[in-house]
Amino acid sequence: MNLFFITIGSFFGVLVVLFTIVAIRKWFFWHAVDGQILKHRVEKHFDEEGNKFFKFVIEYLYQVTDVGSFVGQDSIELRLAYHEEDETIQTMQEEYAHGSSIKIYYSPNNPELSSVDRGSGLHKFLGSILVLLVLFLGIYIYIYVTNIESS
């Protein structure tokens, strides 16, 4: 029975890592170019529990050598405490001001797919690796203890 749970846990651990790698593929395989902010906007939303959050939507222009120019759009979700809202949104508006430069990541297979580099995603990947390491350590300890008990 314990082998069943180890197998199921391993399967889901591998799935977590694979989905994480697919989700953050731009940090590994996408190419970087300099782009320019065309405009931005702040959207207020509410989740299913009624909690308020903001989406900071950025529209940008970027050039891919030998292919052409593209206009991309990306958004950054902001979940803020009430006292942080104004200051954080103001900082974002200054950082992503019209005409400012920004690093854009695009898919070499489909240059129309792009995203702004904002550093989120690597921590998810590392977290998934940590989950797998803990899982495999647990399997190793279980097998080690089982072998000792059967000796």
Residue 2 confidence (pLDDT) above 80:
no
pLDDT band at 58 (very low <50, low <70, confident <90, very high): very high
Residue 89 confidence (pLDDT) above 70:
yes
* Mean per-residue pLDDT, 82-104: 89
At position 3, the amino acid (one-letter code) is L
Higher pLDDT, 79 or 120: 79
Rounded to whole angstroms, the Cα distance separating 128 from 116 reads 23
Higher pLDDT, 117 or 36: 36
Q: Which residues contact 25 (CB under 8 A, 6 or more apart)?
A: none
Q: How wide is the angle at C-alpha 116 spanned by C-alphas 43 and 91, nearest 5°?
A: 55
Residue 111 carries which DSSP code? Answer: T
User: Is 59 in contact with 40 (CB distance < 8 Å)?
Assistant: yes
